[in-house]
Structure 1
Amino acid sequence: MRILIILTYYRPHTSGLTIYAERLARAFARRGHAVTVMTSQYDKSLPLDETVEGVRVVRVPVLFRVSKGVIMPSFGLTANRLVGEHDVIQLHLPQFDAAGVALRGRLLKKPTVITYHCDLRMPPGLLSWAANQAVLFMNELAARFTHRIVTYTQDYAEHSPYLRRYLHKLKVIPPPVELPEVPPQAIQQFRLRTNPQDRRPVIGMAARLATEKGVEVLVEALPKVLQVYPQTQVQFAGTYQNIVGEEAYYARIMPRITRFQESGAWQFLGNLSPEQMACFYPNLDVLVLPSLNSTEAFGLVQIEAMISGTPSIASNLPGVRQPVKIHEMGKVVEIGDSEGLAEALLEILGNRTAYIRDPQPIRQRYLPDRVAEEYEKLFAEIQREICKS
Structure 2
Amino acid sequence: MTRRAARSPRFDLTIVLTYYLPYTSGLTEVARTVAEGLAARGRRVAVVAARHDTEHPTRETVRGVEVFRAPVAARIGRGVLSPGFAPLAGRIARASRVVNIHLPMLEAGLVARLAGGTPVVSTHHDDVWLPPGRLAALQVPVVDASVGAALRRSAAVVVNNVDHAEHSRHWPLMRDRRILAIAPPCRERATAPATFRESAGPHFGFLGRIAPEKGLHHLVDAFRTITDPEARLLIAGDYSKVAGGSVVGALRARAGDDTRIRFTGFLADSRVPEFYASLDAFALPSVAEESFGISQAEAMMLGVPSVACDAPGMRVPVSETGFGRLVPPKDPHALAEALLDVAAYSPERRAEGGRATRARYGTDSCLDAYDALFQEVGAERRVTV
TM-score (norm 2): 0.90
CA distance in 1, matches of 2:42, 2:335: 45
Report the Cα distance in structure 1 between the residues aligned to 2:294 and 2:217, rounded to whole angstroms.
21
Question: In the alignment, what sits opposite 2:5?
Answer: none
Partner of 2:150: 142
Which segments of 5 or more consecutive residues in structure 1 lack a partner in the other structure? none
- Asked if 1 retains the 8 angstrom alpha-carbon contact of 2:87 and 2:114, the reply is no
Of residues 134, 138, 148, the one that matches 1:130 is 138
Q: Secondary structure at the match of 2:187?
A: coil
Match of 1:71 in 2: 81
Written as runs of structure 1 = structure 2, the 5 A alignment for 1:324-335 is 324-335=318-329
Q: Deviations over 1:283-302 (max 9, x none)?
A: 210100011122x2111011
CA RMSD of aligned residues (A): 2.1
- Note if 1:23 corresponds to 2:33: yes
Shift of 1:334: 0.3
Partner SS for 1:44: coil
CA distance in 2, matches of 1:332, 1:355: 17
Q: Structure 1 residues 91, 111: CA separation in 2 closer, same or farther (over 3 Å shift)?
A: same
**1:279 corresponding residue in structure 2:** 274
Count of equivalent residues: 370
Match of 2:160 in 1: 152
1:95 maps onto 2:95 in alignment: no
**1:60-113 Cα deviation digits (max 9, x unpaired):** 0001111111111112331232112211111111111111222244x41x3311
Instruction: Calculate percent identity across the aligned residue pairs.
Output: 34
Separation of aligned partners in 2, 1:352 and 1:215: 27
Q: Secondary structure at the match of 1:159?
A: coil
- CA spacing shift, 1:166–1:80, aligned 2, 3 Å: closer
Q: Distance in 2 between matches of 1:384 and 1:13?
A: 32
Partner of 1:318: 312
- Structure having the higher helix fraction is 1
Confirm or deny: 8 A CA contact 1:204 1:235 kept in the other structure.
Answer: yes
**Contact 2:105-2:147 at 8 Å conserved across structures:** yes
Secondary structure, counterpart of 1:37 in structure 2? strand
Q: What is the correspondence of 1:155-166 to structure 2 with a 5 Å cutoff?
A: 155-166=163-174
Matches within 5 A, 1:244-259: 244-246=243-245, 249-259=247-257
Q: Which residue of the other structure, out of 277, 283, 291, is the alignment partner of 1:288?
A: 283
- Aligned-residue offset at 1:385: 9.2
2:149 is aligned with what amino acid? Answer: L
For residues 182-221 of structure 1, the aligned pairs below 5 Å read 187-188=192-193, 191=195, 194-195=196-197, 197-221=198-222
Relative to structure 2, which stretch is displaced further, 344-353 or 213-222? 344-353
How many angstroms apart in 2 are the aligned matches of 1:4 and 1:130? 30
Post-superposition shift, 1:36?
A: 0.7
Q: Which residue of 1 aligns with 2:366?
A: 371
Q: 1-side partners of 2:264 and 2:188: how far apart?
A: 18
Shift of 1:52: 1.0
Q: Give the drift of 1:224.
A: 2.8
1:254 Cα deviation from its structure 2 partner: 2.1
- Paired residue for 1:12? 22
Q: Is the 8 A contact 1:9 1:42 kept in 2?
A: yes
